[in-house]
């Protein structure tokens, strides 16, 4: 029984490390991915630098913000300002 519990604990730890690594990678890469090749992309909340990078590398012309308008939030102001400075439509 002790051996089984030890193996189960090790398997649980390995799974937790794997999940943690995966979640860290998503945050570190901006969770950016192609949905429709050359047409539609998705990401988590991009920084102003990421918006500029995506616009240059992928020709982004429109940002659709699914979080809604948060005009008092810093992240929202930065996103709108970055889009405006790059002539990207922000919805």
pLDDT digits (tens, 9 = 90+) for 7-34: 888 888 888 888 888 777 766 766 888 8
Average pLDDT over residues 36-58: 90
Question: What is the model's pLDDT at position 7?
Answer: 83
Q: Which residue has the tokens 């300002």?
A: 81
Q: Which of 53, 58, 55, 56 is nearest to 38 (CA)?
A: 58
More confident residue, 30 or 70: 70
Range name among 24-28, 43-47, 50-54, 62-66 with the lowest pLDDT average:
24-28
């Amino acid at each position: 029984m002790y051996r089984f519990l030890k193996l189960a604990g090790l398997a649980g730890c390995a799974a937790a490390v794997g999940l943690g690594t995966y979640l860290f990678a998503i945050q570190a890469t901006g969770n950016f991915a192609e949905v429709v090749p050359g047409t539609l992309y998705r990401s988590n909340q991009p920084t102003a630098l990421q918006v500029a990078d995506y616009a240059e590398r992928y020709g982004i012309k429109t940002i659709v913000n699914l979080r809604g308008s948060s005009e008092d939030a810093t992240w929202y102001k930065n996103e709108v300002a970055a889009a405006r400075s790059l002539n990207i439509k922000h919805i």
